[in-house]
Amino acid sequence: MNTQKSVAFHTLGCKLNYSETSTLSRMLEAEGFAKKEFDDLADVYVINTCSVTDNADKECRQLVRRIGRKAPESLVVITGCYAQLKPKEIADIPGVDLVLGAAEKFNIADHLKELTKGDSTRISSCDIEDVSGFNSAYSLNDRTRTFLKVQDGCDYTCSFCTIPKARGKSRSSDIQSVLDNIKRIADTGNVKEIVLTGVNLGDFGKGPDGQKKSEEHFFDLIRSIDELEGIDRYRISSIEPNLLTPDIISFVAGSRHFMPHFHIPLQSGSNKILRLMRRRYQRELYAERIQEIKCLMPHCGIGADVIVGFPSETDAEFKETFDFIHQLDVSYLHVFTYSERPGTAALDIKGAVPVPVRHERNKVLRNLSYKKMQYFTQRQNANTRTVLFEDHNKNGLMEGYTDNYIRVTTSFREEWAGQLVDWVIS
C-alpha cells in the first residue's frame, strides 16, 4: 500500500516568491512528498502569498475556498507576506490548517509532521523585528529561467509599502554562497538564464543579521558572477534608481553574460508625489540614469514600475507623470493601481483618489506602455538578437525573450525549446 503523501503549491506575487516556492517544494520532496500540480488532488496544499495589493489577499481566500470544495480532507498551509502581516485573519478562513510567518517558512517540513486535519488552526509566527537570517532559494524546473534569491527584506520606508513589515530588515547572502548556488544550478545542465531577485537588490551586502558588510556590494556580486562559466545569461530583476550606480551601468554594458535589460522602479513622475511616497530620489535622477544607460547601450530594454492614484494625486500631477514617461526612453511599464494597505503611512495623506479615476489612469498608462514597446521593437527591426525560447507548446506556438527583453512568438519547434537562437527582429 502506497502511503506517500503528496503536496501541491501555488505562488502569488513576485519572482522572489517563485524562487522560495520552488525551494520549499524541493525540501518537501526530499522529505518524501510527491509533488502534484495545484489543480490535482493532493494531501497538502501550500499557498505562498503576496500582500502588495488587496487583490492578492482576495485571491488567497478564493484559493482556500476552492481547495475546500475540491479536497476538504487535505491540509492547507498559508505562508508568505500575507501570512506574516495578517496571521489571525488567515487563521479565521475556514479550511486553513497552518499559517507560517517569515521566520518559519523554511521549517515547513517539521510543522507538517505535527499537523492533523481537524485540529484547530495553528499559527507559527513572530514579530517581524525578530526575523533574521537569510535563506537562499532558487527556482528549478518551473520555468525556462531560474530565479535566484540573493537578498531579502528592505530598510526603506516607502509610505505605500508593506513589504518591510512582511519580510523584515534588509539582509543578503554572501558572494561565495551565491556563486555556489549558481554552480549547483549550472550542474543541472539545462538552465540558460538566471534572474537575480530580491526585495531591494541594490542593497546587497547586509549580512543575515542586517548589519552592513562593507567589503561586499552589489557591484562586487555581479562582477564575480560574470567570471563564472556554465550559465549563458543573467538578468537583474529590479533595482532602485538611487542604487543603480554608473559603475553598474558601465559594467553591464561591457559584460559577457549580463543582459542589456534593466527594470527600474519609478512610481511617479511628479516630484511632489515622490516625496509623499518617501522615495529616495527625484525624477531628475531617474532621467539621468536612463540617459546613462542609453548612452552606453542604445539597444537596452528598460522597464519601469508606476503607481497611479496615490493619495492627493491631482489630474495635473498625473499628467506630469504621463508627460515625463512619454519623453523617457523606456521600453515598457508595469502599472499598479494604488491600493490602501493597513499600517502604511500613505493612509494619513488626505485626498483619496476615487477608484474609477485610479482605474482610468491605469488604463492610460497601460496604453502608453503598449506604444512604448511597439516603438522600441520597431527601432530594433532588422537587428539580430539572441532569443531564449521557452519549452512550452502553446497551441502550436512558442515564446521567448531577446537579450534586451523583446518578446518573440513563433511556430513551435522542438529543437528550439529551452535553447538560445539568433533571431532577426522584424
| Same-domain status, 120 and 140 | no
**Do 166 and 269 lie in a common domain?**
no
| CA-to-CA separations, 267 to 71, 86, 161, 307, 375, in angstroms, rounded | 41, 26, 12, 5, 22
In a domain, 110, yes or no: yes
Q: Which of 344, 363, 379 is the last residue of a domain?
A: 379
CA distances from 105 to 78, 166, 200, 398, 421 (A): 9, 12, 20, 35, 39
pTM of the model: 0.92
Domain assignment of residue 248, yes or no: no
CATH number at residue 212: 3.30.750.210
Is 80 a domain residue?
Answer: yes
Last residue of a domain, one of 126, 146, 168: 126
**Residue 34 DSSP SS3:** strand
Residue 63: CATH number of its domain: 3.40.50.12160
> Where does the pLDDT of residue 114 fall: very low under 50, low under 70, confident under 90, or very high at 90 and above?
confident
d(CA 80, CA 106): 11
pLDDT value for 129: 85
Domain assignment of residue 242, yes or no = no
Q: Tell me the C-alpha distance between 376 and 354, whole Å.
A: 33
**393 and 355: one domain?**
no
CATH number at residue 272: 3.30.750.200
**301: its cell numbers:** 530594454
Cβ contact 218:243 at 8 Å: yes
> Per-residue confidence at 327, pLDDT binned at 50, 70, 90?
very high
Number of domains in the chain: 4
Q: Are strands 137-138 and 146-149 parallel, antiparallel or unpaired?
A: antiparallel
| Residue 114 CB coordination number (10 Å) | 9
Which three cell numbers, joined as nine digits, stand for 385? 538578437
Q: Is the pLDDT of residue 1 over 50?
A: no
59 with 88, same domain? yes
Instruction: Say yes or no: 364 and 415 in one domain.
Output: no
Domain end call among 200, 235, 270: 235
Residue 203: phi, psi to the nearest 5? -90, 10
CA 66 – CA 72 distance, rounded (Å)? 9
Would you state the cell numbers that stand for residue 218, as one nine-digit string?
Answer: 552589489
Residue 156 has pLDDT above 80, yes or no: yes
Residues 11 and 109 in one domain: yes
Full domain range(s) for residue 346 = 260-379
Does 183 lie in the same domain as 76?
Answer: no
**Could you tell me if 390 and 358 lie in one domain?**
no
In a domain, 246, yes or no: no
Dump pLDDT digits (tens) for 271-319.
999 999 999 999 999 999 999 999 999 999 999 999 999 999 999 999 9
Kindly state whether residues 305 and 350 are assigned to the same domain: yes
* pLDDT for residue 126 is more than 90: no
Summarised one tens digit per residue, pLDDT across range 182-237 is: 999 999 988 999 999 999 999 999 876 656 665 799 999 999 999 999 999 999 99
